[in-house]
Amino acid sequence: ILDVIFSFSTPRSIINLSKTCRAACPIAASYFRAAYKPERLLQRFLPDPAVVRAFRTLQAETGLAIIGKAAYDFLAR
């Protein structure tokens, strides 16, 4: 149920909720890890999981950034 509620909430409201009690904090953190996983975005363009991992390694080593509408939509959730 919380995943559905969080999907309609802003990141700020989820963070504010996570500060209200100890139980809400790990739930919000878990949601953010699942909802904002870059691998999910990359799988649309790189269907092979090994290629996605290699690309993420390249990003980490070079500071490569993803730009464009897909990246904006991913972050604007």
* Nearest CA-CA partner of 51 in 63, 42, 41: 42
Which structural domain range is residue 45 located in?
37-77
Same domain membership, residue 5 and residue 21: yes
Residues 74 and 55 placed together within one structural domain of the fold: yes
Q: Nearest-CA neighbor of 40 among 2, 75, 4, 9?
A: 75
pLDDT tens readout for residues 45-68: 999 999 999 999 999 999 999 899
5 and 31 housed in the same domain: yes
Q: Does 68 lie in the same domain as 56? A: yes
- pTM of structure: 0.64
Q: What average pLDDT does the chain have?
A: 91
Q: Which residues of 26-43 are buried (b: 16+ CB within 10 A; e: fewer)?
A: ebbeebeeeeeeeeebbe
From the list 9, 35, 62, 3, the residue with the least C-alpha distance to 54 is 62
42 and 74 assigned to the same domain: yes
When divided into structural domains, the chain yields a total of 2
Instruction: State whether 41 and 54 are in the same domain.
Output: yes
